[in-house]
Structure 1
Amino acid sequence: MSSDNPQNLPEPELPQAVPVKRHRWAPSLIWLIPVVAALIGGWLAVHAILSRGPTITISFQNAEGIEAGKTRIKYKDVEIGEVTSVKLSPNRQAIVATAQLSKEAADYLAEDSRFWVVRPRISGGSVSGLGTVLSGSYIGMDIGKSAVRKNEFVGLETPPIINADLPGQAFYLRADNLGSLNTGSPVYFRRVPVGQVVGYELDPKGGFVRVGIFVNAPYDRFVTANSRFWHASGVDVSISANGLNVSTQSLAAIALGGIAFETPLADNGGVPLSDRNFILHDTREKALQNPDREMQPFRLRFHQSLRGLSVGAPVDFRGITIGEVTAIGVEYMRERKDFDMTVDIRIYPSRLDSLSHGGRVSGKLSPQQLVANGVRAQLRSGNLITGQLYVALDFFRDAPPAQLVVRRGVAELPTIPGDLDELQRVLQRIVKKIDAVPFDSIGKETEASLKAMRQTLDSVKKLSEGANNETLPQLNKTLQQLQQTLDATQKTMKADSPLQQDVRSAAQEVKETARSFRALADYLDRHPEALVRGKEAQP
């Protein structure tokens, strides 16, 4: 017996454990929700990974309008990606935007694809990007056509004028200066806007400006190898016999500048694909001139004032412009101790060939033959109001013999004085001859002769009144004196006397001058437009 039960009482019986069979646990329906959510999340994660497109970087000069996680990338207003980060470039000269594109946008990443920030802009008289005022800026995309793929791009600072998928053709014009052209300036064909300027750049050597234009379809078929382009900016004003003529393409061309082109109707050929370059002329008149295939330089020497002659003045042959003045100078001649006024010109012989119905004129006549036949250069007035001069080449059969001289490798054509200069010399000779006539001595001699005759007549009258035997001898003496006076007067008035010859010469010169001015007055009466346009050459 143990010490724990001193009274030896009987121990109570303990209840016997009865095993109970456990029931199997059944999941509750509420657990299906997180399971389904996990499955959906996993599926979305896998789909996002599988549908993720390429990652690209775009460099811009600044980050205006670009925010990571907010700025979208769109092509034709369809979202194809999103900017994920924006940071400075390693050289700190630009910003680099990293963007994640969708999977279907992988084929859009051609080497010539373009990106730009779409924001409100005012350029060239047009407003764009107004829709981004409320929605915010986004990056626009234009898909290129190159087969080469790339993931790093340099963004454009201004939106492109022409999209890559726009139907039409691009052409390039070479101009001496840009004028008032700008990106977006219109291009006209028969005053119909058919395209616009897409860009321009200066030649690396600074010799010319290269202007790029785009002509929309179907108007691009009117551009052929023989098309002529010219500046259509501003207003062309001309004065002719029909009055004042003002011409312009449109008000837009006045404000923004523009380009116009024209193609001859007989030209049905197309532009070679290997050459889409043209010359951009200053005016329509220059553009429509026949192309100059060859050029011959000459030098002219004048001994008169060149006031009114300027570089670019035309060289005229009987009303046809065959060249232009290229330089004006002066050269001191030591042998004569005088100055020669030099005028450098260039002549385009092909302009005469184009007017001879296919005949080769410039190949049949050499400059030596022309000079031997009387061709001379002369300064003529092109406009009496402005005083402008031009160089005229013509045949002067009575001109002194001359030869074609070559100095320092430049051929020199002989010249003759101009019309106005020759008229001035004739007037000066007439004035000198008239001034040489002794009108004072002639008047004094005539006055003395008339006075002597009057005195003689008075004496005859007195003698006749009191005639007698004493006065008759005196009367005879007086009559003899009168006869001598009449003989002297008759001698003076003879046709071969020096006085009569001088008077007749002066009268003839005055008569010729009057006839010249009468002819000039008659011509101006019949052709008043000559005061502005100059005298037209006779055919």
Structure 2
Amino acid sequence: MSDRLRPSIVWLIPVAALLISGALLIRVTVHRGPRITISFITAESLEAGKTRVRYKDVEIGTLKAVHLSTDRARVLAEVQLDDSPKPFATCGTRYWVVRPRIGMTGISGLSTAVSGAYIAADIGGTSGQCKGFIGLETPPSVTDDQKGKRFVLHADSLGSLTAGSPVLFRHVQAGRVLDYSLSADGADVVVDVFVDAPYDGYVTSATGWWQASGIDVRFGSDGFRLDTQSVASLLSGGVAFDTVTRMPAARQAADGASFVLAANRADAAQGAEDGAAARVLMRFDQSLRGLSIGAPVDFHGVELGRVTAIDMDFNPATARIDMLATLDLYPTRLGHHYRQALGNGDSAAGRYLLHQLVENGLRGQLRVGSVLTGQRYVALDFFPRARKVHIDTQRTPVELPTVPNTLEELQDQLAGIVNKLNRVPFDNIGRSLDQTLRTTASLFQQVDAELIPEAHATLSAAQKSFNAANATLAQDSPLQSDVHQALTELRRTLASLNSLADYLQQHPESLVWGKSSSSAQGN
């Protein structure tokens, strides 16, 4: 063989490189992980070839491509997983984008502001393999490897709760709110919560749940009350739980157990200790101003229940609009006999006992609980002189009779007096009095202008006359001397007349014959 036909050693190098590359390609192809597609609403912070897929900060794949779906409603992210994380292709796996987020429960994902956003994964519990996944828009509150239990709470309203709100056990955060929704009939709100281990062991059949806002301030008919929880619940609300009743055989609650979410701890304790509430109605023919939902129902200082609703109802019998108050009462608080009757399941005995109470004068009455706030409450009491009434215990809810408040009656009487006073024409009387006063003032002005000067002149003339009379009657005046002389002469004349009368009495004949000479001489 000639040297030209003999292969050169230079060609062995590219052949060896080609064989090595093929082996590496076969190795990569054989050991490459699955390729999956994750659907998101937006492609914010996603970059093909740069965005990584991580599980507990360990890279398990890379984002290869991003494109729109056929209907352009979502974004499809194609992810190439590595060989080792094949379990992340199971159907129950969850994916979400980790980026900086600011919410009511705090700030998360700050590290991505420097390193960039990434796709996080949480392994699912199913074993089947899937190619397509629906990405979460927010991080899940609970990952699959967290230990604890889920519970379902039923509340009348959501209040200030939101996803991520804390779940507190004796002011210690023991879990979080996962989600919430309305029930099928819309009657209540269903709240899903998760309690971390080991706190989930404290949830038993004797546990009560209630909404715990940051600051619970109450200023009503039962006084001023302040209750605080945590700073986190101040911002986003919260749920608290604790043992509210002593049960001899309390057992741990199972995963997924349901509870009633009360408005506050007191309501939670009432629900646990007193059982189901009995709903009753009370009809009032007076204003319910000052009576609010949640106001207590009191019997001699013992709280029997709460006001749950206030409504109006037209009464055809009186052609008036009555005010209705719906109450939730706890019959077990009415005493041992009532509890015994209810405990034996004898509803007829309970109805008979209620008939007896009403027959003896049990009535409802509105009373003022706080003069400062004007808040009212409903009082149950016995009024022996109350008008006899008949109640229908077969009706649901039962309507209990009421009596008016004596203070209200007094106010009505005072209002009647005020109405009568309002009908008095004070304006006309005032105008007449003003006119009379003006006339009197004019008369006084006329007297001062006309009569007083004339009176001054008359008084001056009278003073002159008095002075003249005084001068005339003075002791050293001529008139006084003449009067004395005249009186002397008058006395003499009277003496002569007396002598003449005596003579005539002794000698009456002298009136005919004249005075005799002897008599004259003797005289």
- In the superposition, the TM-score normalised over structure 1's length comes to 0.67
Distance in 1 of aligned mates of 2:222 and 2:394:
46
Is there any run of 5+ residues in structure 1 with no aligned partner, and where?
1-20, 431-539
Measured after TM superposition, the shift of residue 243 of structure 1 is: 9.7
Aligned residue in 2 for 1:328: 311
The whole-number CA distance in structure 2 between the counterparts of 1:239 and 1:344 is 21
**Does 2:402 match 1:415?**
yes
Cα distance in 2 for residues equivalent to 1:241 and 1:294? 24
**Aligned length in residues:** 408
Three-state SS of the structure 2 residue aligned to 1:44 is helix
Aligned partner of 1:384 among 371, 384, 388:
371
* Structure 1 SS opposite 2:252: coil
Task: Identify the range of structure 1 (401-410 vs 203-212) with the bigger mean alpha-carbon deviation.
Answer: 401-410
* Native 8 Å contact 2:278 2:331 kept in 1: no
Q: CA deviation at 1:361?
A: 5.9
Equivalent residue of 2:130, what SS? coil
| Code of the aligned partner of 2:67 | K
Question: Structure 1 residues 136-145 or 118-127, which shifts more?
Answer: 118-127
The aligned runs of 1:65-104 (5 Å cut-off) are 65-104=45-84
**Distance verdict in 2 for CA 1:132–1:300, change over 3 Å:** closer
1:185–1:44 Cα change, 3 Å: same
Match of 1:328, as an amino acid?
D
Query: Residue 218 of structure 1 is aligned with which of 186, 192, 198?
Result: 198
Aligned to 2:159: 179
Report percent identity of matched pairs.
43
Secondary structure of the structure 2 residue equivalent to 1:380: strand
Whole-Å separation in 2 of the counterparts to 1:422 and 1:415: 14
- Partner of 1:322, secondary structure, is strand
Give yes or no for contact 1:353–1:361 (8 Å, CA) kept in 2: no
Distance of aligned partners of 1:224 and 1:211 in 2 relative to their CA distance in 1, 3 Å threshold: same
Counterparts in 2 of 1:345 and 1:211: CA distance versus 1, 3 Å: closer
Q: Distance in 2 between matches of 1:265 and 1:287?
A: 10
Q: Deviations over 1:358-400 (max 9, x none)?
A: 6346854423222122212222221222222222222223434
Distance 2:15 2:104 in 1: 60
SS of 1:36's partner is helix
Q: State whether residues 225 and 272 of structure 1, in contact with CA within 8 Å, keep that contact through their aligned partners in structure 2.
A: no
Q: CA 1:242 to 1:87, structure 2 compared with 1: closer, same or farther past 3 Å?
A: closer
Closer/same/farther in 2, CA of residues 307 and 197 from structure 1, 3 Å limit: closer
Which of 353, 358, 367 is 1:371 aligned to? 358
In structure 2, C-alpha distance between the alignment counterparts of 1:231 and 1:258, rounded to whole Å = 6
For each residue in 1:36-84, what CA deviation from the matched residue of structure 2 results, as whole angstroms up to 9, or x when unmatched?
3223211110101111121211100111122222222121122222222
**What does 1:100-115 align with in structure 2 at a 5 Å threshold?**
100-115=80-95
RMSD across aligned positions (CA): 3.5
Match of 1:289 in 2: 270
Residue identity matched to 1:171: F
Match of 1:402 among 359, 367, 389: 389
1:354–1:47 Cα change, 3 Å: farther
Identify the residue that residue 207 of structure 1 maps to in structure 2: 187
Tell me whether 1:167 sits opposite 2:154 in the alignment.
Answer: no
Spell out the pairing of 1:409-448 with structure 2 (5 A cutoff). Answer: 411-421=398-408
Partner residue in 2 for 1:272: 254
Matched position secondary structure for 1:65? coil
CA deviation map 1:389-425 (0-9, x unaligned): 2222222234343322589976543332324235668
The 2-side partners of 1:116 and 1:284 are apart by: 37
Which of 46, 58, 69 is residue 38 of structure 2 equivalent to? 58
1:317 to 299, 304, 313: 299
Question: Equivalent residue of 1:104, what SS?
Answer: coil
* Distance (whole Å) between structure 2 residues aligned to residue 409 and residue 229 of structure 1: 28
Please state whether the residue corresponding to 1:394 is helix, strand or coil: strand
Structure 1 residue 247 corresponds to structure 2 residue 231: no
Q: Distance in 2 between matches of 1:70 and 1:396?
A: 83
Q: Which has the higher helix share?
A: 2
What's the offset of the Cα at 1:154?
0.4
* Distance in 2 between residues matched to 1:247 and 1:307, nearest whole Å: 27
Classify 1:157/1:54 alpha carbon distance in 2 versus 1 (closer, same or farther; 3 Å): same
Query: Could you say if the C-alpha distance between residues 408 and 166 of structure 1 is closer, same or farther in structure 2, counting changes exceeding 3 Å?
Result: closer
Task: Name the SS of the counterpart of 2:34 in structure 1.
Answer: strand
Unmatched tracts of structure 2, length 5 or more:
418-523
CA contact (8 A) 1:297 1:344 kept: no
| 3-state SS, counterpart of residue 100 of structure 1 | strand
Change (3 A) 1:429 1:182: closer
Q: Given the alignment, which residue of 120, 130, 151 partners 2:131?
A: 151
Q: TM-score, normalised by structure 2?
A: 0.69
Name which of structure 1's ranges 137-146 and 290-299 shifts more when overlaid on structure 2. Answer: 290-299
Range with greater deviation from structure 2 (401-410 or 252-261): 401-410
Q: Deviations over 1:219-241 (max 9, x none)?
A: 11111233211111131235799
**Which residue identity is paired with 2:53?**
I
Secondary structure in 1 matching 2:84: helix
Query: Which whole-Å CA distance do the structure 1 matches of 2:86 and 2:31 have between them?
Result: 11
SS of equivalent residue, structure 1 residue 321? strand
Q: Distance in 1 between matches of 2:217 and 2:246?
A: 29
Contact 2:284 2:402 in 1 (8 A): yes
Q: Distance in 2 between matches of 1:23 and 1:101?
A: 52
Distance 1:410 1:182, change over 3 A: closer
One-letter amino acid matched to 1:384? V
Deviation at 1:191, TM superposition (A): 0.5
Distance apart, 1:357 and its partner CA = 11
Is the Cα contact below 8 Å between 1:116 and 1:159 reproduced in 2?
Answer: yes
- The residue aligned with 1:473 is none
Question: Take 1:27 and 1:328, find their aligned partners in 2: how far apart are those partners?
Answer: 106
Shifted more, 418-427 versus 132-141: the winner is: 418-427
SS of aligned partner of 2:154: strand
SS at match of 1:224: coil
